Amino acid sequence: MRYEPPRGWASLPLKRFLSGNDSGTWGDDPTGHGDTLVLRSTEQTADGRWCISDPAPRSLDPKERIRTRLRKGDLIITKSSGSPTHIGKTTLVEGPLAEAGYAFGNFMQRLRTRRALVPKFLWYVMQADMVRQQIPLVSTTTTGLANLNGTVLGSLVVLVPPHEEQSAIVDFLDRETEKIDELIEKQNRLVTLLRERRRVWHTSVLSHDSG
C-alpha cells in the first residue's frame, strides 16, 4: 500500500529544502598567527550533540575562512566514518557556538535550510529512523570507511510539514527532551549517591571486622 503523507506535508528529497550544501576544509598546519579553530567529526556525539574539548587550530586562507565559518542554524553532518553509528550523525549550530568563529572539517558536510524548513526541525528529522535507515543504503565504502557527499545527502527523502507545524513539533520535542534529560540527571545522581553509600557501608563493615 502506498504511503500518503498527511495533508499539507511534503515527502521530498532534502535538496528541495536547502539553500546551501557545502563540504568542509582542513587547511594547512597552524602558524600561530591568525589561525582558525576547526571542528572535527570527533566533536559530534552519536546522538547529535556537540562535545567540543580540543578544536584544531588550522591556517586557512581568507576566502576559505569566510566560506567555512559556522553560523546559527547550520547543520553539520559526519560524511566519512568507519562506524555505522557515527556516519551521518548531525549537529546543529546554536547559541554561543554560532558566535565563536569556528570552521568545520573536511570529513563533514554543512547544510543550510531555506526559509520553508526550520533548522532544528531538520535536526530532529536527521536523528529519526526514517533518515538513519537511509544512510547505509546511500553511502559508499572505500578502505573500510562509509562515505557520504552533498549529492547523496541531498537525495535523502524527508517528510516535512508546514512551517508552523514544524515550529510546534520542535517546541514539543524540546520540552519532552528536557524532561527526559532531567530524569536521566536525577537517575545519575541517585546512582552516584547509592555507590557512595555502598562504599561507606563496606568501609564501616571492614573497619568493624578488623576491630
Task: Look up cell 547505509; give the residue.
Answer: 136
| Grid cell for residue 137 | 543504503
| CA 39 – CA 61 distance, rounded (Å) | 17
Of the candidates 36, 22, 14, 28, the one whose C-alpha atom is nearest the C-alpha of residue 108 is 22
Q: Which residues of the chain fall below pLDDT 50? A: none
Over its C-alpha atoms, the chain yields an Rg (Å, rounded) of: 22
Residue 32 gets which letter from DSSP?
Answer: S
DSSP string, 101-164: T-EE-TTEEEEEE-TTS-HHHHHHHHHSHHHHTTHHHH-EEETTEEE--HHHHHH-EEEE--HH
Q: What is the pLDDT of residue 1?
A: 60
* 187: CB partners within 8 A, 6+ apart: none
Q: What is the pLDDT of residue 8?
A: 82
Task: Look up cell 573497619; give the residue.
Answer: 207
- Output the CA angle 74-50-180, nearest 5 degrees: 105
pLDDT per residue over 106-127, tens digit each?
999 999 999 999 999 999 999 9
Q: What is the pLDDT of residue 121?
A: 97
